[in-house]
Structure formats: C-alpha cells, structure tokens
Structure 1
Amino acid sequence: MTQNTAIVWNPSKTTRDALEAALPEGAEVSWFETTEDDPGRGAAESALAAGAELILAAGGDGTIRAVAEYLAETAATADLGIVPLGTGNLLARNLGVPLNNISAAVTRAFENEATTIDIGWADVHLSDEVRRRAFAVMAGFGIDAHMITETNDDLKDRAGWLAYVESLGRALSASAVIDIRLSVDGEDAVEDKAHTLLVGNCGMLQGGIALLPDADPSDGALDLLVLQADGVAGWLDTARNMMWDHGIKRLFARDTASEDDSGSASTIRRRMTALTVDLAEPRMFEVDGDTVGEATRVEFSIQAAALRVR
C-alpha cells in the first residue's frame, strides 16, 4: 500500500467522514481541501510538497481537471486516483472508475496498478488575455459549451446529467454557424464553417453516448469533431452520422473503423496532435465542463503519457 497518500477533496461534494470510512485499514493520509476560488491546483501543489505518491481527487469534473492539470504541468510522478462525485464524472466514465460509490472508487485507487494517459492542452485567446487550460476528456465550443452555460444549476443538483437535456433547445438556438479557420498539425489553414467544434482525448459522455467513438486517452493523439448542420436537412444528416454511422452500426461491425469516419456532409472528423482554430466571432469555450470565456482563437496540443492514473 502506498504510504504517502493525499486526498484533495471538494467539501461541497462530500464529507471527510465519508472519505475516511472508505479508506483501507491502517491507511495514513494527508488532507487538502479545495475552495471555490481554487478547485484543486493549490491543493495538489500542497499535496506534492508534502511528498504524496498517490493523490486521490474527490469531487466533480472541475476538481479532477484542476488536479490533473497541475500534475501534468509539473510532470509530477505521483499517481492520480479518482473519486467521482460530480454531475458528469466524464474522465471516470471513460476510465471505468465506479460512479457514486466512494468505497469502490477508493479501493480501486489503492489496489490497481497505474496506467498512463494523455492530457490535451488548449491555449484560449480571449479579448484581453490568453488562458492555458488542460483537459482530460474534451474541450470546444458550440452546443457542448452552451449546454453547460445554459443548464440550470438547481436542476443539475436535482436531476444530475439529465438536466443537460432541458437546456438542449436553448443551446441549439445559441449555436449559430460561424466562419472558422483550421490548421491541423501545422498544415496550411483552411476556411470552413461550424456551429460546434470539439477536440477530445476521450470520447464518452453521460448516458454512454460515444461522441468520439475512436478517441483513446492513451494513443498520443486528439480527435476532432466539427458540426456544421444548418437547417432541417443538415441536422438529419448530423443525426445519421452521429447515431448510425458512429453508434448503432458499430455494434454490428467487426472493425470499429468505417468508410464514413472522416465525417459526412455536415460533420468533419480528424485525428491530429495539434490544431489551431480561428473564430470569426467569439464563442463560449469549455474544457471538461468548465467554461473559460469567449474565445476568438484556440491552439490545441497533446501531452502524451502525461498522467499516471490508478
């Protein structure tokens, strides 16, 4: 058992007593609370300074992302354990960590061997500054970001991820098609259009929805999805591509790849290690469920094997 263990926990999501009850007998841990102003970076820094070899991040996606970001940024050798306590729990879902079960998640972190995963980075250009953010799952603008900003927080507390469905109609109306410029892996920039652009390190959302079905958090690459649907015909084509070509049809195919994987008339799919996106109009940008601000340019990159996760 790892002796130097730290718990970075969000006190708005659980209690210290509940976490202590899940610890293996004899485990000695140090405790570091997050705050509203600092969801995990400062706590992770303190945990590493205390010599932690295993850091359990207990909280929602914001807490997990902040701790993962600091570990990747500093190239720390400490392992990360995930105790998912949020609405989406996206990284936990993609890695098969037990949800809504503190004891099972803590046991998994103490008993399993570590595996390495990649981390994506987004340099987000706002009107007055550039903010650098890491993401373990996905980042982007459009429907995904608007569903997050338009979702009622009280409803999220009562209904969990189903609250996002309530905001979908408002998100659609807020996600107008705009002009963009894309430069993939240093290639010459090309003009295009989009209402939604997502870059993923992992591909699964709530409810088992595989938005980026080929995304692999350990393959050293990022997956791009651009949605361009405009009007009824465009949305029908998008629905076919998302639900049939990259959903139901895959269940019956021996090979997960299909001839349609590059996209459709209203979707673009690419795999890359770097991407620069210029937006003709500012759009709200999000990373792993946290909004960053209205972006006019975003530079994506991948940090391969950035984290050791239990």
Structure 2
Amino acid sequence: MTATKIGIIWNPSKIDEGTLRSAVDDALDGDVQWWETSEDDPGLGMAKEAIAAGCETVIAVGGDGTVRAVAEGLAGSDAALGIVPQGTGNLLARNLEVPLDDIPAALARISAGETRQIDLGWVNTGGEDQAFMVMVGFGIDAQMLVETDDDLKDRAGWLAYVEAMGRAMAGTEMTGITLALDGGGAQEVRGHTLLIGNCGMVQGGVRLLPDAKLDDGLLDLLLVSADGALQWLDTVRSVVWDNGIRRLLTRDETAVSTESTRHLTAERIRVELEQPLAFEIDGEEVGEVSSFDVHVQAGGLRVH
C-alpha cells in the first residue's frame, strides 16, 4: 500500500493480540503503530493520536463501537479508515462489503490502497455532537437485530429478523413525535420506531433503509407506526417485499412508503418526543432522550 505510516487501534476484548500482530505482519508493510482501546476510550482519543503521529491509514479492529469511535476521531482529516470487523453486527463493514470473519482478507483489502469518500452522520442529544456511521434512533434498531435468536437465524435466515421485528413492535407503544426537516416547518406524527441512517443494510441482508447510500449527502429516515396486527403485516410486507424482494426483481430504486412505514430523506433533522425514550447510536444505548438534532457531513470520511 502507498501509506508509509499505519495506525492499528484494536479492542482487546474482541481479538487476541498475538493473532492480530501476526496477521498484520504478514499483510502490511511500513511503519505500523499500535493503540489499544479501553473502557474509558473506545478509540476516539487513539484516532486523534494516530493523526498527530502522521498515520495515513488508521485501522479499527473491533466491533461497531470501535469503528464508530475511530471514525469520529478521523472525521475531516486526510487519514483513511480501514476496518477489520470483529464484532457481532459489523454493520458498517457489511455496507462497505468488507470481508467478515476473515482477518487476512480484510487486511488485504486495506493493503490494496483503494479509498473512497463517504458521509458521516452527526447527532446531538443535548451535549456534544457524536458521529454515527450506520443509524440512530429508537424502537427497532440495529442492536435488536444483532441480538436476534441465533438458533432461529440458523434455521430461517432473514425470516428471523421479521420475527425479531414483531417482538420489538409488540413491546413498544406509539408516541407523539415532532419532526422538522432541513429547517422547514414542524410536523406532528405518531410512531413507535424512528430510525435515521447513513446506510441501511443490517444482518441477514435486510435493508431497513433501502434508499440509504453512504455517499449521497443525505440521511434517510424511517418512521414506523404499525398499530395492531393488520398494520404490522403491512410493515412486514413493506420491509420484506416492497423494499426487499420486489426491488431486487424490478431494480426499482425508490423506497415504498405505506400507511405504517414512511420513508423520508433530509440533510438536517430536528426531533422532539412526547416522552423520553431509550436512544441508540449505531446499536449502542446512550440513555433516554426527549429531543435530538441530526445532520450529515457529506464526504466527511475516507475509507478503504
């Protein structure tokens, strides 16, 4: 690869150090510097140190939390993010088609040196802005899909995610939501799930945000308001058929909204909730929030 300085930021709870160092020695040339994440810092500070040290490529080795923290530290810099996925969901890696469960293949992709610019999402829940790579929101979320019953996943594939969605919906209640898109007038809606994403594919090949692209300068929004069994079936049809199988068959590029599933896009989104709800950023719960602001940073990150 053309980079002469490489930073490795690795999560020791996800991989054996000896195994990783051996794979890196076999795959990468140049000056390789190492940083280990900690409970107090999952990678943000290490990424900034890597930039200060002159690293041209910074490789995040871990799960979605490690990748998100490192990406936030690299945002707006010239350094490129490489990913060696070692988590359960590995959602950004899936959307970038990074090899999973194959450390040498993931490192070979980085070693090839090709990069692209992708967007970053930023969310503020009342404090500092936090970056996200995949999606934020409440209700049906990435973590719920990651934790879908393993036995059912083995037997039923993507149908396991439909079952998981049903369980999640059964345990949630509708709430009032005030939405303002791109500085426009506020609109009052009701729903039990709101997702805002930079990319849309989760495990099992399910695309919750079928129009989401990592480099289109937009964020995609999914509002689910299934009230009762009939609307739940409508939601399943929307996710599995209208925005899943049908799109593959027809190559239709437009997401289909229904009575219970509404798709929108925007660069900036302001959300106020009727009551505080548990909120997640890239599958990690960050506590309850009653309002939040989201915006996209177009082309904010280079990735391998």
Partners of 1:172 and 1:254 in 2: CA distance: 29
Select the residue among 142, 147, 155 that pairs with 2:144. 147
Equivalent position of 2:279 in the other structure: 285
Aligned residue number for residue 197 of structure 1: 194
CA contact (8 A) 2:62 2:85 kept: yes
Match of 1:118 in 2: 119
Rounded Cα–Cα distance in structure 2 between residues aligned with 1:145 and 1:215: 15
Aligned equivalent of 2:65: 62
Q: Distance in 2 between matches of 1:59 and 1:79?
A: 17
Is the Cα–Cα contact under 8 Å of residues 200 and 223 in structure 1 kept in the other structure?
yes
- Say whether residues 1:46 and 2:43 are aligned partners: no
Q: 1:25 to 1:92 in 2, by over 3 A?
A: closer
Matched, 1:263 2:257: yes
Partner of 1:32: 35
Does the CA-based 8 Å contact 2:133-2:199 persist in structure 1?
A: yes
8 Å contact 1:145–1:285 — kept in the other structure?
Answer: no
Asked if 1:109 corresponds to 2:106, the answer is no
Identity, in percent, stands at: 49
**Gaps in structure 2 of 5+ consecutive residues:** none
Whether 1:273 and 2:270 are equivalent positions in the alignment is no
**3-state SS of 1:264 partner:** coil
Which secondary structure does the structure 2 equivalent of 1:256 belong to? Answer: coil
CA distance in structure 1 between the partners assigned to 2:232 and 2:162 by the alignment? 17
Contact 1:146 1:174 in 2 (8 A): no
* TM-score, scaled to structure 2: 0.90
Residue 243 in 1 paired to residue 244 in 2?
Answer: no
**1:263 alignment partner, SS class:** coil
CA distance in 1 between counterparts of 2:161 and 2:239 reads 18
Q: Distance in 2 between matches of 1:269 and 1:164?
A: 19
RMSD: 2.4
Q: Measure, in 2, the Cα distance between the counterparts of 1:36 and 1:164.
A: 30
Mark the CA change 1:183 to 1:283 in structure 2 (over 3 Å): closer, same or farther. Answer: same
Where 2:229 maps in the other structure, the secondary structure is helix
C-alpha distance in structure 1 between counterparts of 2:291 and 2:145, whole Å: 20
What corresponds to 1:87 in structure 2? 88
Q: TM-score, normalised by structure 1?
A: 0.89
Whichever residue aligns with residue 196 of structure 1, its letter is T
Is the 8 Å Cα contact of residues 9 and 33 (structure 1) preserved in structure 2?
yes
Q: Deviations over 1:39-58 (max 9, x none)?
A: 11111122122111110100
Q: Which moved more, 1:198-207 or 1:173-182?
A: 173-182
Q: CA deviation at 1:107?
A: 1.1
SS in structure 2 of the partner of residue 12 of structure 1:
coil
Structure 1 Cα separation of the partners of residues 58 and 44 of structure 2: 12
Summarize the Cα distance change of 1:174–1:37 in structure 2 as closer, same or farther, 3 Å threshold. Answer: farther
- Contact 2:8-2:35 within 8 A present in 1 as well: yes
Alpha-carbon distance change, 146 to 50 in structure 1, aligned in 2, over 3 angstroms: closer
Q: Distance in 2 between matches of 1:148 and 1:249?
A: 22
Q: What displacement does 1:113 show?
A: 1.1
- Write out aligned runs for 1:222-241 (5 A): 222-241=219-238
What's 1:212 paired with? 209
Give distance in 2, aligned partners of 1:167 and 1:303: 32
Deviation, structure 1 residue 167:
6.5
CA distance in 2 between counterparts of 1:9 and 1:175 reads: 36
Offset of residue 90 of structure 1: 0.3
Contact 1:146/1:284 (<8 A) preserved = no
Is the partner of 1:105 in helix, strand or coil?
helix
- Structure 2: how far apart are the matches of 1:266 and 1:100? 36
What SS does structure 1 have at the residue aligned with 2:58?
strand
1:178 counterpart residue number = 175
Opposite residue 119 of structure 1, the aligned amino acid is: L
Runs (5+) with no aligned partner, structure 1: none
- C-alpha separation in 2, matches of 1:79 and 1:146: 26
Measure the CA separation in 1 of the matches of 2:28 and 2:270: 49
- Alpha-carbon contact 1:146-1:175 (below 8 Å) kept: no
Asked whether the 8 Å contact 2:120–2:297 carries over to 1, the reply is yes
Residues 80/31 of structure 1: CA separation in 2 closer, same or farther (3 Å cut): same
Aligned to 2:299: 305
Tell me, yes or no, if structure 1 residue 187 matches structure 2 residue 206: no
| CA pair 132-26 structure 1, distance change in 2 beyond 3 A | closer
The Cα offsets for residues 73-125 of structure 1, whole Å up to 9 and x where unpaired, read as xx211111000000000000000100011111011112131100000111114
